[in-house]
Structure 1
Amino acid sequence: MTKKAYIITGIGVVVGLLAGYLYYQEIGCLSGTCAITSKPLNSTLYGGLMGGLLFNLFVTSNKKQDK
């Protein structure tokens, strides 16, 4: 991976962390039966993972394709 790819993925992780925590604050699960949204740490980490994966989709590869 290039430096640009790490930066894009890192930005995605940060955006996901913020989105996960905001999701916990605004929607969350009050009963405690939801595995991801019942605790702020779980929701924040899950959001960071999903954000990193989502933003990683926008990273282009430098490999040349053979025709």
Structure 2
Amino acid sequence: MNKKAIIITAIGVVIGLIAGYLYYQQIGCVSGTCAITSKPLNSTLYGGLMCGLLFNLFVTSPKKKD
């Protein structure tokens, strides 16, 4: 991975962490039976992971020289 790929993925993780926490805060799971959204840590980490993976899809690999 080059520096650009790491930066793009890191931006995605940060956005996902924020979005995961906001999802917990605004929607969440009141009863506590939901595995991901019942605790803010779980929701935040899950959001960071998913958004980091999503942003990693937009990273292009370097071209191979023939």
**Match of residue 51 from structure 1:** 51
In the TM superposition, 1:1-67 aligns within 5 A as: 1-64=1-64
Runs of 4 or more above 6 Å deviation: none
Sequence identity (%): 85
Q: Tell me the TM-score normalized by structure 2.
A: 0.95
Check 1:65–1:28 CA distance in 2 against 1; reply closer, same or farther (3 A cut).
farther
Structure 2 counterpart of 1:47, which letter? G
Structure 1 counterpart of 2:11, which letter? I
Question: What per-residue deviation string (whole Å, max 9, x for no partner) do you get for residues 29-61 of structure 1?
Answer: 000000000000000000000010000000001
Distance 1:65 1:22 in 2: 45
Q: Tell me the TM-score normalized by structure 1.
A: 0.93
Mark the runs of 5 or more structure 2 residues left unpaired by the alignment: none
Query: What's the RMSD between the two structures over aligned residues?
Result: 1.3
Distance 2:65 2:17 in 1: 35
